[in-house]
Amino acid sequence: MTIMSYDNPLSSRYGSSEMVYQFSPHKKFTTWRKLWLALAEAEAELGLPISESQLKDMRDNLDNLDLDLAASYEKKLRHDVMAHVHAWGDQIPDARPIIHLGATSCYVGDNTDLIIIRDALDVLLPKLANVIDALASFAREHAALPTLGFTHYQPAQPTTVGKRTCLWIQDLLMDLDALTRIRDTISFRGVKGTTGTQASFLALFDGDHDKVTALDDKVTAAFGFDRAFPVTGQTYPRKLDHIVLMTLSTFGVTAHKMATDIRLLANLKEMEEPFGAHQIGSSAMAYKRNPMRSERICALARHLITLSQDGAWTAAVQWMERTLDDSANRRVSLAEGFITADGILETLLNVSRGLVLYPKVIRRRLDSELPFMATENIMMAMVRKGADRQVIHELIRTHSQAAAANVKMEGGDNDLIERLKGDPDFSAIHDDLDDILDPSAFVGRAPEQVAFFMKEDVEPALERWKGELGRGATLRV
């Protein structure tokens, strides 16, 4: 009988190969070896008796992983780091004595996690910038296209398609800024020892504090970090994991809101996500064009939003210098947080680069609601022609209620303007009504706001990523 193993859809279905790799065994364990090598190189440079031949053995075997051997050691030792120390020691016996010299498990475990977090952010950030760039192009193109606004999902004052798109972009810019700030300021754990006191390294260097400080600095710089945490327990502060997951979660909120708007607009037939030539919307209802990508974004975003709680509780319940109840949770939450965010971004980029508009549907809905919204403009136009405001107000009120009854009770169109055109009391503005009802007259400064926002906010924010803009999305399904 064949026993099927669980296949995590985040890895096999939604996340990109470049993001999935960040959390792969190969990335993790080769980074462990690079950290052991960097430690040994720095220790040798600072005077510890480590030979060049030992360092060469380490350099030559960074990628020579034997995961089965390590797994057999872990089954016996019940300790993942020591399992890999033994497995690598078997491969390079001459260097065995100096592997992990003076270090605690968190030297490789935590520093590797920080490297992966930084590298995973380097995968996410260009994709997020591309989503913003795609939406910015869409917003510029439709900056002045009037569309019915909605508050409480009820018809409200008109806006423009471009202006509405800018609401999505503005949220995404906040996410870009927050994630960039984490990426640029993340600290390394560095070389801190068992409880963060560096006692083991102070013993190795015969009480030379300067050499211990230099060791920490050298290893930190070797991995491209500007600084290490000045103080740690056994682990780096789990508060950082909470901040990372919370910021990813906040992006999930943005993505969910945008995708929900697209789903609502798809129902109104005003906007659609891209739909493949052979795509099937329903196995039963052949006519359907479901917004499945936007629905996927919402589904994944819900999971991403909930993951922030893992980081919060893990940070909250760490005792003193550390407890191990963080380990299993972090193996799941950090990987899933980044891979989920990556899957959302790939899908969001696909949607953003292929948004479809239906301007005639947009105009028809505007035309059905605009007459009511234009009544004050109509009244003012009549007053300017010499009419009595109170008399005109009553006439418009009467015609408006009749038009509303026609829409709600009879299922007819909004015929308010036709009623006014047929009323001789409004003859003074009959020739002006079409101009009064021009939707562009009701969008305020929306087009100008789009232009200002692009120049002052969007373009400066994307400057850092301009060399990576224009990429497409890679969807597996």
Q: What are the residue ranges spanned by the domains of the chain?
A: 121-189+232-275+287-358+454-468, 375-436
pLDDT at 279: 53
pLDDT at 276: 62
3-state helix, strand, coil in the chain (%, to 5): 70, 5, 25
Question: Which residues of the chain register pLDDT less than 50?
Answer: 278, 280, 282-288
Q: In 10 A of CB 307, how many CB atoms?
A: 22
Tokens 């950082």 belong to 240
283 is catalytic: no
- Stated pTM of the model: 0.89
152 is catalytic: yes
pLDDT at 118: 97
pLDDT at 286: 43
Instruction: Choose among 215, 151, 222, 228: nearest CA to 185.
Output: 228
Instruction: Please say whether the structural domain 121-189+232-275+287-358+454-468 has been given the CATH code 1.10.287.610.
Output: no
Catalytic residue among 5, 152, 278, 283: 152
Provide the angle, in degrees to the nearest 10, between the axes of the packed helices 80-91 and 67-77.
Answer: 130
pLDDT, tens only, 218-230 = 999 999 999 999 9
pLDDT at 430: 86
CATH class of 375-436: mainly alpha
pLDDT at 281: 54
- CA 46 to CA 34: how far, in whole Å? 18
- CA 398 to CA 416: how far, in whole Å? 10
Catalytic residue among 12, 51, 53, 282: 282
Q: In 10 A of CB 452, how many CB atoms?
A: 12
pLDDT at 302: 96
